[in-house]
Amino acid sequence: MYAVPKPPGKKSKATRPTRDDFELQELAEKLEEAKENHTRLNLTVWRMPEQIQGMIDKLDSGTQKVHVQTRYDGLLKIPFIDIMKAFNVE
């Protein structure tokens, strides 16, 4: 019986940094507060080269996406888990 060689190595996908429940809870509270106060935020999103600046329009618990109204790109629907950081625009 002959051994079949494996196909050339596949490149592994970049993995999203892991965060604990406390960090996720803090982020959720910050997004909720910004939505209630109509505050503009800068969001650092995983696998996006630039930060997103906008206001939180909706927090959709069904799809777990955050709807962000931006000035130039319109409404973006970003998965909550992909948001790495959020901070107020000064």
Sign of the dihedral defined by the CA atoms of residues 20, 22, 24, 26, in that order: negative
Class of domain 21-88: mainly beta
DSSP run (H or E) holding 52: strand 52-60
Q: What is the pTM of this model?
A: 0.81
- On whether the CB atoms of residues 86 and 40 are closer than 8 A, the answer is no
Cα 53 from Cα 63, distance rounded (Å): 21
In tens, the pLDDT along 22-79 reads: 999 999 999 999 999 999 999 999 999 999 999 999 999 999 999 999 998 999 999 9
CA distances from 31 to 7, 35, 74 (A): 45, 6, 18
